[in-house]
């Protein structure tokens, strides 16, 4: 078949026919301008070639248009998710969507509440990822109520109830957010995604917001999980750092509970935090959960309790949820229950105890950094100090400028320089007259008089000149000079000023915000020691099934939901598995027992007919270590058959002699023999054993 010429719209070389043997991955939809033909032409960078590429096939990087498009697509996507969606920035502790919401609320702020639907729409000018993500982020911030003051049904963090629709709820910035997050004079700005507006690169946060609010996000190849901390704890820690003292900060959860921070590891990767619900004993048959572990809701907690009860891990009558502003889950117990044991079971088998894995990751200099929470607080405190210095420098500059303008105005009016311009006929002469009139007094000023200063003097209205009051002007100048003196003093003692800033925040906003989470060491509870023996194990030996609560089959023993079962089948196979409603172990179960938690210490005596040689072997063994759900052979070959099995608790109880009865059809002249088992050593389960007879064995009995 003749090859078609490449399209004139593309200078790409045609793929050689001998490349058909290579591993070629072709895009699902070819370009519209390049019709699919029997001789397919594809850009070389858009295909994946096997290591054995035929000679003559050249990879032309610079000429492949799709290669340029896809070369770094994954890296760019990963960077986008990390930097622009999932991970908070260390400067203000906010993700981009949170920052844009707060900036929008600041722009809209007039002291009144705004419909969340309006806020979401306005935020989309800066965040082009749909209203759902904006609304969810706004509600989450509003539920914590530190930065956004909510009004309306914002859902319930305790129960997991969702918020009302955005058109029904309202929001506005809190005073705390206005104090610590916004200052246009110290904000670095950038253009929004469409270039129509300006948005902050980061907000000038003067508080460790990321530690106060907490953060959680999953990006490409990494995740962040920063646990929330107590406001007053953060203030004290920042003050201690600025004063050169050591400090420690531990998470504090709005849901309360008790936490074990012994392995917190400063919030870095690899750390662990155990959190427990607070459970009270109201009566002998009534428990009350009044505080939740962080990450659980009353709905998820009750679901875990009911699930554990259904599986037989705990035994309760029913659960009532009376949660509103505070948590109250009532657990009713059946008669004869031990409340203390039930509490232990709740910690082991339900979400009443959970384990958190913190991983404090933040964006710094456009890169993700894994830091400890103390390091984040230190950098935040130093950043606050720098921002306060910037604000003081700006304030001092504004005061000096105001002092200069007021001084010029005072000279201009008191020395009646404005009268000198009455005869001037041109603008240039007006400016020259003012400049000449100011010359004798320039030495009293702190900087040179500029053309803008002179122009500003010409803009003073006659009404202001006529109403000029020298005493009031002197008082205003004194206030400016006092403010300048105070500002310079703050700049000289910047650390003390920063300390006073955090003290002011704590005094203003810290009242009523005590720690809700108690911290204590939580001992590990052995599940096997608290689980109830409330299950009944049954077996169907012929079909090879075991299960719980099969009343129509053979009863084995009482057990717990955590127990494992050991079975030995007639073909010499052995298996251990966890108890369940129904499990297949193997046909013709010869022996079944609960597998001891500390390992099987029993001594086994077994006589089996080998499937390959037909000989009968006797062996004594201990089982040793096993893995669940793995089939172990006790005989050396397939199609073997156990004819005798004895289990003893000690070696002394093992049989000494056995009577072996041979099959009458085997051709053996002696049909009955006595076998001395003392000659058989106790070995492992994989041992072959000693030969009893080369003939088929019909029955084996213990002589003892």
Q: Which residues are annotated as catalytic?
A: 168
Q: What region does 600 belong to: left with phi over 0, alpha with psi -120 to 50, or beta?
A: beta
Compute the distance between CA of residue 81 and CA of residue 97 in angstroms, rounded to an integer. 12
Strand order from edge to edge, sheet including 318-321? 278-283, 286-291, 329-332, 318-321
Contact assessment for residue 298 and residue 283, using Cβ atoms and an 8 Å cutoff: no
Compute the distance between CA of residue 498 and CA of residue 332 in angstroms, rounded to an integer. 54
Residues 6+ apart with CB under 8 A from 539: 545, 546, 553, 554, 556, 567, 589, 592
In terms of C-beta density within 10 A (0-12 exposed, 13-18 middle, 19 or more buried), how is residue 631 classed? exposed
Annotate 345-408 with three-state secondary structure.
Answer: HHHHHCCCEEEECCECEEEECCEEEECCHHHHHHHHHHHHHHHHHHHHHHHHHHHHHHHHHHHH
CA 545-546-552 angle, to 5 degrees, is 90
Contact assessment for residue 580 and residue 626, using Cβ atoms and an 8 Å cutoff: no
Contact assessment for residue 93 and residue 144, using Cβ atoms and an 8 Å cutoff: no
Compute the distance between CA of residue 135 and CA of residue 121 in angstroms, rounded to an integer. 10
Contact assessment for residue 12 and residue 63, using Cβ atoms and an 8 Å cutoff: yes
For the record, the structure tokens of 400 come out as 């000096």
CA 546-552-555 angle, to 5 degrees, is 55
Contact assessment for residue 415 and residue 468, using Cβ atoms and an 8 Å cutoff: no
Compute the distance between CA of residue 205 and CA of residue 177 in angstroms, rounded to an integer. 9
Residues 6+ apart with CB under 8 A from 457: 408, 409, 412, 417, 434
In terms of C-beta density within 10 A (0-12 exposed, 13-18 middle, 19 or more buried), how is residue 581 classed? exposed
Closest CA to 562 of 538, 529, 525: 529
Compute the distance between CA of residue 156 and CA of residue 143 in angstroms, rounded to an integer. 8
> 564 φ, ψ to 5°?
-115, 155
Residues 6+ apart with CB under 8 A from 250: 229, 233, 259, 261, 264, 519
For the record, the structure tokens of 576 come out as 């251990």
Contact assessment for residue 303 and residue 407, using Cβ atoms and an 8 Å cutoff: no
């Amino acid at each position: 078949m003749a090859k078609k010429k490449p399209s004139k719209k593309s200078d790409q070389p045609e793929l050689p026919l001998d490349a058909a043997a290579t591993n070629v991955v072709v895009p699902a939809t070819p370009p519209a301008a390049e019709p699919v033909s029997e001789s397919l032409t594809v850009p070389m960078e858009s295909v994946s070639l096997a290591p054995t590429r035929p000679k003559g096939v050249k990879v032309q990087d610079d000429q492949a248009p799709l290669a340029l498009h896809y070369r770094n697509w994954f890296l760019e996507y990963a960077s986008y998710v990390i930097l622009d969606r999932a991970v908070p920035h260390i400067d203000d502790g906010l993700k981009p969507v949170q920052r844009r919401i707060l900036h929008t609320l600041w722009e809209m702020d007039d002291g009144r509440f705004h419909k969340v639907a309006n806020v979401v729409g306005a935020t989309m000018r800066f965040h082009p990822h749909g209203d759902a993500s904006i609304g969810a982020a706004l509600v989450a911030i509003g539920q914590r109520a530190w930065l956004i003051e909510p009004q309306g049904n914002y859902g319930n963090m305790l129960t997991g109830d969702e918020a009302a629709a955005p058109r029904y709820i309202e929001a506005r910035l809190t005073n705390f957010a206005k104090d610590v997050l916004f200052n246009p004079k110290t904000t670095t700005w950038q253009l929004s995604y469409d270039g129509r507006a300006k948005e902050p690169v980061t907000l000038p946060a003067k508080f460790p917001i990321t530690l106060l609010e907490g953060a959680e996000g999953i990006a490409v190849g990494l995740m962040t999980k920063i646990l929330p901390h107590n406001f007053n704890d953060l203030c004290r820690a920042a003050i201690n750092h600025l004063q050169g003292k050591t400090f420690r900060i531990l998470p504090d959860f709005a849901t309360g509970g008790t936490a074990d921070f012994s392995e917190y590891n400063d919030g870095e990767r690899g750390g662990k935090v155990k959190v427990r619900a607070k459970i009270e004993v109201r009566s002998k048959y009534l428990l009350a959960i009044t505080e939740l572990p962080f990450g659980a809701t009353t709905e998820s907690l009750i679901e875990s309790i009911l699930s554990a009860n259904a599986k037989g891990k705990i035994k309760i009558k029913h659960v009532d949820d009376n949660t509103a502003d505070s948590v109250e889950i009532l657990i009713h117990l059946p008669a004869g229950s031990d409340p203390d044991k039930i509490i232990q079971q709740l910690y082991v088998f339900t979400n009443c105890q959970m384990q958190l894995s913190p991983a404090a990751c933040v964006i710094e200099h456009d890169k993700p950094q894994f830091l400890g929470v103390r390091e984040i607080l230190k950098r935040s405190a130093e950043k606050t100090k720098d921002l306060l210095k910037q604000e003081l420098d700006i304030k001092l500059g504004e005061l000096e400028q105001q002092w200069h303008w007021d001084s010029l105005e005072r000279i201009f009016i008191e020395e009646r320089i404005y009268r000198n311009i009455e005869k001037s006929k041109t603008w240039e002469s007006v400016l020259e007259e003012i400049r000449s009139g100011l010359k004798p007094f320039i030495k009293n000023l702190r900087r040179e008089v500029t053309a803008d200063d002179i122009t500003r003097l010409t803009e003073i209205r006659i009404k202001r000149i006529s109403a000029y009051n020298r005493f009031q002007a002197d008082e205003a100048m004194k206030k400016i000079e006092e403010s300048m003196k105070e500002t310079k003093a703050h700049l000289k003692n910047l650390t003390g000023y920063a300390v006073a800033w955090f003290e002011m925040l704590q005094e203003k906003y810290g009242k009523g915000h005590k720690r809700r989470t108690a911290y204590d060491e939580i001992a590990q509870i052995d599940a096997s020691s608290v689980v109830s023996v409330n299950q009944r194990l049954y077996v169907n030996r012929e079909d090879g099934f075991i299960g719980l609560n099969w009343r129509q089959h053979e009863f084995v023993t009482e057990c717990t939901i955590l127990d494992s079962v050991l079975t030995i089948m007639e073909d010499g196979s052995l298996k251990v598995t966890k108890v369940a409603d129904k499990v297949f172990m193997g046909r013709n179960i010869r022996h079944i027992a609960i597998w001891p938690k500390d390992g099987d210490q029993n001594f086994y005596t077994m006589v089996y007919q080998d499937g390959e040689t037909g000989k009968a072997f006797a062996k004594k063994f201990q089982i040793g270590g096993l893995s669940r759900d793995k089939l172990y052979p006790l005989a050396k070959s397939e199609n073997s058959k156990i004819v005798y099995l004895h289990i003893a608790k000690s070696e002394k109880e093992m049989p000494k002699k056995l009577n072996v009865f041979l099959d009458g059809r085997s051709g053996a002249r002696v049909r009955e023999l006595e076998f001395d088992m003392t000659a058989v050593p106790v070995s492992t389960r994989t041992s072959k054993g000693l030969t009893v007879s080369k003939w088929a064995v019909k029955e084996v009995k213990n002589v003892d």
